Amino acid sequence: METEKVVAFEMKAEIVKQMLQQPRFNLDEAVNTFCKISCNAHAIVDIDMEPLGTGLYPVLSIINHSCLPNAVLVFEGKLAVLRALLPVGKGDEVLISYIDLCQTTRDRWDDLNAKYHFICSCRRCCKFDKIDDQILDALRCKHGKCDGFLVDKQGFYSRDLKLECSKCGHVRTSEAEKRAKKKLEPLLDRAGSYLDNLNYEGALSTYKKIEAATLDLFHPSSLSVMLVRKLLTKLHMETGDIQAALECCRLITPVRERLLQRNDPVLGRHYYLRGKLEGVKGDKEDGRDYLIRARDILEITHGTNFPLVTELLHCERILGHLGQGTSGRP
Ligand SMILES: C[S@@+](CC[C@H](N)C(=O)[O-])C[C@H]1O[C@@H](n2cnc3c(N)ncnc32)[C@H](O)[C@@H]1O
């Protein structure tokens, strides 16, 4: 664990010591316990993966991570429920994902290393195409008229990037990358303060500028652009422009589908939103299709009694069809 993190735990332990006022309180043991909790506790999240808190579930803590999990941990209030995503054979290891899987391999590794201190060696991590993976979030080259993307052809795991265009071979330093990203900072700060003050109109107009600036820097189907569009979808809905929300949501679907497994709950949640937006403003047939896809996933990940699944059936009925799932299940 990095020193910074241990120091934070030492400060927390000191506070607990002051609060408890017990002469036998052992500071080292308390720090040790905080370290163990941080590796073994689970973030309790809602259906949108928004964090609600942290819980320590000793039995579930024995489950290891995979970026291609065969099970998922979902929460019903404080109750943690483990569900299989795929048939799990006798003797197969049950594996869940500890992190957001809609990320590049490098970012998934950084997340796992920072929080859980291991390098993942699952099938997805071992079998990825290094250049393809980096292009998911690579900067545009912009050397002359080149429309290639900058990738780190050298040390994949080194912090000191040497960026080279995958098309024209032009080299840029990581300093150039930092400078390019820095341009976005004032816009992001402004958008953040609009959001803090629930000024959705202000946030929307700033995020439109952020989208344009991000598109100027990254590939249109990059993760950076997708994250901006995810926020824009929400802001369009908050400000009542459902057509614009649908257009943004449509652009997100291929990126989600490329990075997530067929039964991922995040994909199920995305299909649910897409289905509803299509149903209101787009193609009704598409709307029904996306709602069915969402139900097929969320029934597996969250169970048939989950309120969102019940709501999905209701939406499907409204769209005039109580059809069969794409999986062929009734
Ligand atoms: C919640 S615990 C999982 C159970 C743990 N393996 C055990 O035996 O108690 C999380 C820790 O397990 C280890 N771990 C989990 N998944 C792993 C994986 N795919 N590869 C290597 N280590 C992993 C890491 O040390 C991580 O910090």
Where do the domains of the chain lie?
Answer: 3-116, 129-173, 183-249, 260-330
CATH of 3-116, one of 3.40.50.2000, 2.60.40.10, 3.30.930.10, 2.170.270.10: 2.170.270.10
The answer, yes or no, to whether residue 315 has pLDDT greater than 90, is no
CATH class of 183-249: mainly alpha
Long-range contacts of residues 101-105, Cβ cutoff 8 Å, at least 24 apart? 101/67, 101/259, 101/260, 101/261, 101/264, 101/266, 102/223, 102/226, 102/255, 102/256, 102/259, 102/260, 102/266, 103/223, 103/259, 104/133, 104/134, 104/136, 104/137, 104/223, 105/133
Ligand 1 centroid to Cα of residue 63, in Å, is 7
3-116 against 183-249: fold identical: no
CA-proximal residue: ligand 1, atom 20 (nearest): 120
ipTM score above 0.95: yes
* Per-residue confidence band for 326, with pLDDT thresholds at 50, 70 and 90: very low
Ligand 1 centroid to Cα of residue 38, in Å, is 12
Residues 108-132, mean pLDDT to the nearest whole number? 89
Ligand 1 centroid to Cα of residue 105, in Å, is 18
Residues 209-233, mean pLDDT to the nearest whole number? 91
The answer, yes or no, to whether residue 159 has pLDDT greater than 60, is no
Ligand 1 centroid to Cα of residue 64, in Å, is 5
Residues 226-254, mean pLDDT to the nearest whole number? 96
Q: Are 225 and 219 a contacting pair, CB within 8 Å?
A: yes
The answer, yes or no, to whether residue 249 has pLDDT greater than 90, is yes
Pocket test for ligand 1, best of 65, 66, 82, 94 (most atoms within 8 A of CB): 65
| Greatest mean pLDDT among 47-61, 137-151, 154-168 | 47-61
Q: Are 167 and 155 a contacting pair, CB within 8 Å?
A: no
How many angstroms separate the CA atoms of 315 and 116, rounded? 40
- Tell me which amino acid residue 297 is: I
Instruction: Supply the pLDDT for residue 238.
Output: 95
Range from 149-153, 157-161, 212-216, 244-248 carrying the lowest mean pLDDT: 157-161
C-alpha triplet 133, 82, 56: angle, nearest 5°: 90
Residues with CB under 6 A from ligand 1: 39-40, 61-62, 64-66, 116-118, 120
* Per-residue confidence band for 327, with pLDDT thresholds at 50, 70 and 90: very low
Round the average pLDDT of the chain to a whole number and report it: 87
CA-proximal residue: ligand 1, atom 27 (nearest): 116
CA-proximal residue: ligand 1, atom 4 (nearest): 62
The answer, yes or no, to whether residue 227 has pLDDT greater than 90, is yes
Percent over 90 (pLDDT), the chain = 58
The whole model's pTM is what? 0.84
Ligand 1 centroid to Cα of residue 322, in Å, is 43
CA-proximal residue: ligand 1, atom 14 (nearest): 64
Q: Are 290 and 274 a contacting pair, CB within 8 Å?
A: yes
How many angstroms separate the CA atoms of 315 and 322, rounded? 9
The answer, yes or no, to whether residue 141 has pLDDT greater than 50, is yes
